[in-house]
């Protein structure tokens, strides 16, 4: 898997001169979408399959600040996978040092918003995820 690179934009900094903490949650989303694309499931394909996978929990631990023009490299992993829930783990590195770690939990819904059992209803997608554990 290729790590995802986010180059910090000027508008992502705040008056402390650093990347505003809320933006890291957006970088995690970018990295997750890129990860799913790399395993053959870009978002449009997932939606075409009739699956949505909303965030039900997110956390982020800050170790070092970053700022404008910094290149943040994000490694995404699948940490847990069950019939009902998917957990991603993220490690963010900048200038050779870990600057933060994150986690996001997701459930699986159909387009009407009802929970689905991915393993049964979309076995190929489930297998692709399981393969990355």
Look up residue 22 and give its DSSP letter: T
- We find the least distance from the C-beta atom of residue 107 to its own copies, in angstroms, to be 10
Q: Choose which of 61, 84, 115, 117 interacts with its own copies (CB under 8 A).
A: 61
3-state secondary structure of 30: helix
Question: Least distance (Å) from its own copies to the CB of residue 15?
Answer: 4
Q: Least distance (Å) from its own copies to the CB of residue 97?
A: 16
Kindly determine how many residues on this chain lie close enough to bind its own copies according to the rule CB under 8 A.
Answer: 35
Asked whether the beta carbons of 83 and 118 are under 8 A apart, the reply is yes
List C-alpha distances in Å: 72 to 8, 66, 94.
Answer: 7, 8, 5
Which helix (DSSP H) or strand (DSSP E) does residue 75 occupy?
Answer: strand 71-81
Q: Which of residues 68-87 bind its own copies (CB under 8 A)?
A: 68-69
Site for its own copies in 10-29 (CB under 8 A): 10-11, 13-18, 20-23, 25-26, 29
Member of 50, 54, 115, 123 binding its own copies (CB under 8 A): 54
Yes or no: say if 132 and 78 are a contact pair by the CB < 8 Å rule: yes
Phi, psi of 104 (to 5 degrees): -140, 140
Q: List residues binding its own copies (CB under 8 A).
A: 9-11, 13-18, 20-23, 25-26, 29-30, 33, 42-44, 52, 54-62, 65, 67-69
């Amino acid at each position: 898997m290729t790590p995802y690179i986010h180059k910090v934009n000027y508008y992502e900094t705040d008056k402390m001169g650093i990347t505003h903490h809320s933006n890291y949650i957006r970088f995690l989303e970018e990295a997750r979408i890129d990860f799913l694309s790399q395993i053959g499931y870009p978002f449009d394909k997932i939606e075409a399959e009739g699956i949505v996978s909303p965030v039900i929990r997110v956390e982020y631990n800050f170790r070092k600040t970053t700022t404008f023009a910094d290149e943040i490299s994000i490694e995404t992993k699948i940490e847990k996978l069950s019939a009902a829930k998917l957990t991603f783990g993220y490690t963010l590195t900048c200038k050779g040092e870990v600057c933060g770690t994150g986690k996001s939990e997701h459930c699986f819904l159909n387009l009407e918003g009802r929970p689905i059992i991915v393993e049964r209803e979309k076995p190929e997608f489930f297998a692709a995820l399981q393969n990355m554990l």
